[in-house]
């Protein structure tokens, strides 16, 4: 299925909140599985785990754990699923990639610390391409490298800097259905797009807090329409850009109490009273989101790092044909046709 | 200008958290007075990379570990030292507050305003939700006053016992009625939220009050303006600074009966305080440039935080983000200083009270364990320096070199004799090539372990 000629953006309402403190402390990333399964990567000082969940707010247990042994991670950054729903986790402290099957069994670890081609130095974002190969943002070496899912080095590009194809501690990576690669250039406050050969296509974003501006952006994803979602961590928001990198809208957070939170609060009288005394406006906002993931059915999952939960939005965009969407205009117009 | 290495090491132990040898040499190169001038002007320095801290350490539970990382890596170490100073003076306990975000916001506040004017510091302190809750000012209302904050503001935070009356306390408390904070959203289910300062007009007592001879419808701002003009405030804050930076004084509650050990020094600092309208940076500049400071080497027992950070500087670790910083917070706690949670409103008892049998064991165990790994950058640096020296070292010279690189540290005759006897068991020592260095690095580690376990190393 190719991309639609255009989109009627009918809305992108808040859908639901998942999980709560204790269950998903400091969720740094999320992987979308099949049949409503999701995998939430949690990371805090001295603790790390994958929490397996469903979009119905059901807790299916944990996978992995903090440490340096097999099947453990110390500073996990990104979790992503392959076509068979195996989970791959980058660890920027241990400089490696750890893999699990969807039942949580450790199925592999690869990565050698270093700065030579094929070695890893603070791997952050990871993403599969349509052929099942894995791109890795090798953050401390300011480059992107491509591996097979078993860790065989294929090629890479990038060096330190702020020019085209240069990076300053890149974080998130996403690959679209065409094989093009999107890299969040964290300390340059921008996103760069490359083709599958690593050739620079375009960049968007600059430092700031205005619409389309970025403050140390982290994770990224691309949906089936080519829309680009950026976790604008320092501005506590998600920003949506179209396939050309033009700003479309932002998401500041609209959280409600999740199902599990409601159940908890029904048995805790004191915090209920405190909530009644408090200004509740801040509770809905995102706090330091470090990633974003979109599913094929149009759900946008935002691990709300500072609030121990996941906020979910539903994309209501309608694909348009050429008959339903007039040709591009060079200039804006006041005509109402 | 003094280029004295030992003096510079003294300055950086007190005004900072120690240095690596390379950092120390760079400071010496710059000159003592210039370094002091930079220290008291943190705005000149490049701030620590907050985005890096957030990226690698960004979760609330790791705040103290992150704070220790700041102490080690701040380009303005005096700023962090002053945050620690005010945390000690305005001691606020997490054990009671149980709100980590409010407590960490308070430390951030001290970092932000701690080198400015005392008026601003006391005003911000009075609006700080952690302090308000700690001393019950959230229950201080017109018609039902709670005097806890008013009393401690005068007794422990600004004037000291003997410089105000009970009526002053009562009226001070009335002036702060209605100074409270907005109820934060509770921790569960979605985490801590910052409580905002809140002034509730209906709960404020607008009656006429008399405070330290001033009469009127005084509010909290007026009280602070009156306090900071008192010579007693200048002397009290100066004595706190002397106790923290120069030499151990008795514990604060005895200050009204025990005079300062160096009254002239307190007067010098108090004069700087009054002349600068209570600008703490000016007082610190006077302090670090004074002879009484320069002559006060090893006259203070290191606080646990100073001991831990000093050891980490010696071994040269934690220069970049790494997991496990919380272990150093645990280490200070084991030695009797649980950061964010001082035992009482008086803060920690300092000086010799940092040491008892159990606490000394914790201090020595930590120090010995940390220097046991010869691969640590700081120890490798010492090996390199000894190697570059080339010549074989007599046992006496080896001891002298180790004391130099571990401080420089001044030790008594007994300690020196003990260290020398240990070195003598190995005859002539050299690090002239890689093979010799590898052969002798175990000896070096053992010597450093003996040094950091010594009585003298407990002093800063």
Predicted ipTM of the assembly? 0.94
Q: Work out the number of other CB atoms within 10 angstroms of the CB of residue B404.
A: 16
A216 and B51 within 8 Å at the Cβ level: the answer is yes
A21 and B188 within 8 Å at the Cβ level: the answer is yes
B149-153 CB contacts, 8 Å cutoff, 24+ apart: B149/B173, B149/B176, B150/B174, B150/B175, B150/B176, B152/B345, B153/B122, B153/B126, B153/B223, B153/B227
A contacts of B184 (beta carbons < 8 Å): 274, 278
A46 and B323 within 8 Å at the Cβ level: the answer is yes
User: By CA distance, what is A46's nearest residue in B?
Assistant: B324
Question: In which residue ranges of chain A is pLDDT below 50?
Answer: none
pLDDT in tens, B413-424: 999 999 999 999
Statement: residue B402 has pLDDT above 80: yes
Which tokens is A79 given? 């979790």
B156 touches chain A (CB under 8 A): no
Phi, psi (rounded to 5 degrees) for A173: -135, 140
pLDDT in tens, B368-399: 999 999 999 999 999 999 888 777 889 999 99
What pLDDT is attached to residue B3? 52
B contacts of A274 (beta carbons < 8 Å): 183-186
A283 and B185 within 8 Å at the Cβ level: the answer is yes
Phi, psi (rounded to 5 degrees) for B262: -135, 80
* Shortest Cα–Cα distance, A308 to chain B (Å): 6
pLDDT > 70 fraction of chain A, expressed in percent and rounded: 100
B contacts of A186 (beta carbons < 8 Å): 55
With contact defined as beta carbons under 8 Å apart, do B378 and B24 qualify?
no
Q: Return the C-alpha torsion angle A319, A324, A329, A335, nearest 10.
A: -120
Interface test with A, best of B190, B318, B320 (most A CBs within 10 A): B190
B contacts of A234 (beta carbons < 8 Å): 51, 54
B188 touches chain A (CB under 8 A): yes
Q: Work out the number of other CB atoms within 10 angstroms of the CB of residue B44.
A: 11
B contacts of A257 (beta carbons < 8 Å): 189
Q: Work out the number of other CB atoms within 10 angstroms of the CB of residue B256.
A: 12
Across B93-118, average pLDDT:
97
B55 and A44 within 8 Å at the Cβ level: the answer is no
A283 and B51 within 8 Å at the Cβ level: the answer is no
DSSP secondary structure code for residue A300 in this structure:
E
User: By CA distance, what is B58's nearest residue in A?
Assistant: A44
Of the candidates B39, B127, B123, B26, which has an alpha carbon nearest to the alpha carbon of residue B81? Answer: B39
Of the candidates A316, A317, A307, A318, which has an alpha carbon nearest to the alpha carbon of residue A254? Answer: A307
For residue A272, the SS3 value is: helix
A21 and B191 within 8 Å at the Cβ level: the answer is yes
Q: Distance between CA B329 and CA B337 in Å, rounded?
A: 9
* Shortest Cα–Cα distance, A218 to chain B (Å): 9
B343 touches chain A (CB under 8 A): no
B146-154 CB contacts, 8 Å cutoff, 24+ apart: B146/B173, B147/B172, B147/B173, B148/B173, B149/B173, B149/B176, B150/B174, B150/B175, B150/B176, B152/B345, B153/B122, B153/B126, B153/B223, B153/B227, B154/B227
pLDDT in tens, B126-163: 999 999 999 999 999 999 999 999 999 999 999 999 99
A contacts of B51 (beta carbons < 8 Å): 187, 216, 234
Q: To the nearest whole number, what is the mean pLDDT of chain B?
A: 95
Interface test with B, best of A46, A77, A275 (most B CBs within 10 A): A46
A contacts of B187 (beta carbons < 8 Å): 21, 271
Instruction: Name the packing angle between helices B21-30 and B5-15 (round to 10°).
Output: 110
B 59-78 residues with CB < 8 A to A: 59, 61-62, 65
What pLDDT is attached to residue A1? 64
Query: B421-460: buried (b, 16+ CB within 10 Å) or exposed (e) per residue?
Result: ebbeeeeebbbeeeeebeebbebbbbbbbbbbbbebbbbb
Of the candidates B182, B164, B171, which has an alpha carbon nearest to the alpha carbon of residue B206? Answer: B171
Q: Give chain A's radius of gyration (CA, Å).
A: 20
B56 and A186 within 8 Å at the Cβ level: the answer is no
What pLDDT is attached to residue B62? 87
Q: Distance between CA B157 and CA B153 in Å, rounded?
A: 5
Residues ≥6 apart with Cβ < 8 Å to A161: A142, A167, A168
Interface test with B, best of A19, A20, A43, A45 (most B CBs within 10 A): A45
Across B43-65, average pLDDT:
89
User: By CA distance, what is A92's nearest residue in B?
Assistant: B56
A265 and B189 within 8 Å at the Cβ level: the answer is yes
pLDDT in tens, A128-149: 999 999 999 999 999 999 999 9
Q: Distance between CA A225 and CA B409 in Å, rounded?
A: 67
* Shortest Cα–Cα distance, A86 to chain B (Å): 26
Q: Distance between CA A274 and CA A84 in Å, rounded?
A: 46
Statement: residue B1 has pLDDT above 70: no
Q: Within a 13 Å sphere around the CA of B160, how many CA atoms are in the beta-carbon half?
A: 20
What pLDDT is attached to residue A186? 98
* CA–centroid distance for B92 within its chain: 15
Across B188-197, average pLDDT:
96
pLDDT > 90 fraction of chain B, expressed in percent and rounded: 91
With contact defined as beta carbons under 8 Å apart, do A176 and A222 qualify?
yes
Which tokens is A216 given? 């140390």
3-state secondary structure chain B: CCCCHHHHHHHHHHHCCCCCHHHHHHHHHHCHHHHHHHHCCHHHCCCCCHHHHHHHHCCHHHHHHHHHHHHHHCCCHHHHHHHHHHHHHCCCCHHHHCCHHHHHHHHHHHHHHCCCEHHHHHHHHHCCHHHHHHCCHHHCECCECCCHHHHHHHHHHHCCCCCCCHHHHHHHHHHCCCEEECCCCCCCCCCCCCCCEEECHHHCCCCCEEECCEEECCCHHHHHHHHCCCHHHHHHHHHHHHHHHCCCCCCHHHCCCCCCCCHHHHHHHHHHHHHCCCEHHHHHHHHHHCHHHHCCCCCCECCHHHHHHHHHHHHCCCCCCCCCCHHHHHHHHHCCCCCCCCCCCCCCCCHHHHCCHHHHHHHHHHHHHHCCCCCCHHHHHHHHHHHHHCCCECHHHHHHHHHHHCCCCCCCHHHHHHHHHHHHCCCCECCCCHHHHHHHHHHHHHHHHHHHCCCHHHEC
A contacts of B182 (beta carbons < 8 Å): 278-279
For residue A31, the SS3 value is: strand
Phi, psi (rounded to 5 degrees) for A125: -75, 145
Global pTM value = 0.95
């Amino acid at each position: 299925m190719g991309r639609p000629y255009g989109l009627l953006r009918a809305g992108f309402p808040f859908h639901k909140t998942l999980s709560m403190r204790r269950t998903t402390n400091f969720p740094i990333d999320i992987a979308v599985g099949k049949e409503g399964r999701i995998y939430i990567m949690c990371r805090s000082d001295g603790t790390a785990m994958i929490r397996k969940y469903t979009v119905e707010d059901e807790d299916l247990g944990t996978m992995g754990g903090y440490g340096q042994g097999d099947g453990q991670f110390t500073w996990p950054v990104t979790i992503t699923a392959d076509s068979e729903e195996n989970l791959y986790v980058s660890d920027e402290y241990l400089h490696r990639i750890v893999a699990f099957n969807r039942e949580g069994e450790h199925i592999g670890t690869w990565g050698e610390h270093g700065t030579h081609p094929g070695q890893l130095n603070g791997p952050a974002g990871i993403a599969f391409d349509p052929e099942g190969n894995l791109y890795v943002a090798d953050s401390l070496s300011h480059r992107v490298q491509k591996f097979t899912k078993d860790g065989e080095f294929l090629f890479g590009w990038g060096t330190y800097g702020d020019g085209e194809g240069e990076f300053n501690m890149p974080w998130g990576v996403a690959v679209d259905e065409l094989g093009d690669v999107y890299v969040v250039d964290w300390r340059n406050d921008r996103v760069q797009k490359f083709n599958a050969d690593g050739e620079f296509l375009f960049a968007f974003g600059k430092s700031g807090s205005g619409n389309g501006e970025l403050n140390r952006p982290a994770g990224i994803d691309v949906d089936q329409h080519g829309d680009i979602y950026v976790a604008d961590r320092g501005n506590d928001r998600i920003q949506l850009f179209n396939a050309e990198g033009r700003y479309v809208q932002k998401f500041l957070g609209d959280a409600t109490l999740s199902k599990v939170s409601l159940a908890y609060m029904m048995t805790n009288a004191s915090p209920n009273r405190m909530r009644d005394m408090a200004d509740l406006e801040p509770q809905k906002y995102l706090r330091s989101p470090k990633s974003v993931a979109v599913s094929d059915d149009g759900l946008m999952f935002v691990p709300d790092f500072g609030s121990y939960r996941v906020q979910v939005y539903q994309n209501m965009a309608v694909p348009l044909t050429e008959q339903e969407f007039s040709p591009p205009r060079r200039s804006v117009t006041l005509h109402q046709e | 200008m003094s280029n004295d290495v030992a003096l510079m090491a003294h300055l950086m132990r007190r005004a900072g958290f120690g240095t690596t040898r390379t950092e120390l040499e760079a400071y010496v190169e710059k000159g003592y007075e210039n370094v002091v001038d930079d220290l008291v002007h943190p705005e000149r320095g490049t701030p620590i990379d907050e985005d890096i801290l957030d990226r690698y350490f960004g979760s609330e539970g790791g705040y103290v570990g992150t704070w220790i990382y700041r102490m080690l890596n701040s380009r303005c170490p005096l700023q962090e030292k002053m945050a620690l100073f005010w945390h000690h003076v305005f001691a606020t306990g997490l054990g009671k507050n149980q709100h980590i975000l409010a407590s960490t916001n308070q430390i951030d506040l001290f970092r932000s305003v701690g080198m400015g004017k005392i008026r601003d510091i006391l005003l911000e302190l009075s609006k700080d939700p952690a302090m308000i809750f700690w001393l019950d000012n959230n229950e201080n209302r017109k018609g039902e006053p709670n005097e806890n904050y008013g009393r401690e503001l005068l007794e422990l935070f600004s004037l000291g016992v003997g410089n105000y009356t009970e009526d002053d306390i009562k009226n001070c408390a009335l002036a702060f009625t209605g100074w409270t904070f907005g109820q934060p959203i509770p921790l569960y289910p979605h985490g801590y939220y910052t409580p905002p300062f809140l002034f509730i007009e209906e709960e404020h007592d607008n009656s006429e009050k008399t405070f330290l001879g001033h009469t009127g419808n005084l509010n909290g701002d007026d009280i602070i303006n009156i306090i900071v003009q008192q010579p007693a405030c200048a002397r009290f804050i100066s004595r706190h600074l002397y106790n923290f930076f120069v030499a151990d004084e008795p514990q604060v509650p005895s200050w009204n009966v025990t005079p300062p050990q160096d009254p002239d020094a307190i007067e010098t600092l108090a004069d700087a305080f009054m002349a600068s309208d209570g600008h703490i940076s000016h007082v610190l500049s006077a302090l670090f440039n004074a002879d009484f400071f320069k002559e006060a080497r090893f006259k203070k027992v290191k606080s646990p935080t100073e001991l831990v950070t000093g050891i980490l500087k010696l071994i040269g670790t934690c220069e970049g983000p790494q997991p496990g910083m919380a272990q150093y917070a645990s280490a200070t706690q084991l030695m009797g200083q649980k950061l964010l949670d001082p035992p009482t409103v008086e803060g920690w008892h300092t000086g010799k009270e940092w040491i008892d049998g159990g606490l000394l064991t914790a201090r020595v165990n930590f120090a010995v364990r940390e220097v046991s790994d010869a691969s640590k950058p700081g120890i490798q640096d010492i090996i390199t320096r000894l190697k570059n020296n080339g010549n074989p070292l007599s046992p006496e010279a080896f001891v002298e070199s180790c004391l130099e690189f571990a401080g420089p540290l001044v030790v008594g005759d007994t300690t020196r004799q003990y260290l020398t006897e240990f070195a003598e068991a190995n005859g002539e020592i050299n690090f002239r090539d890689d093979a010799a260095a590898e052969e002798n690095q175990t000896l070096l580690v053992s010597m450093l372990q003996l040094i950091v376990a010594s009585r003298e190393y407990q002093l800063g």
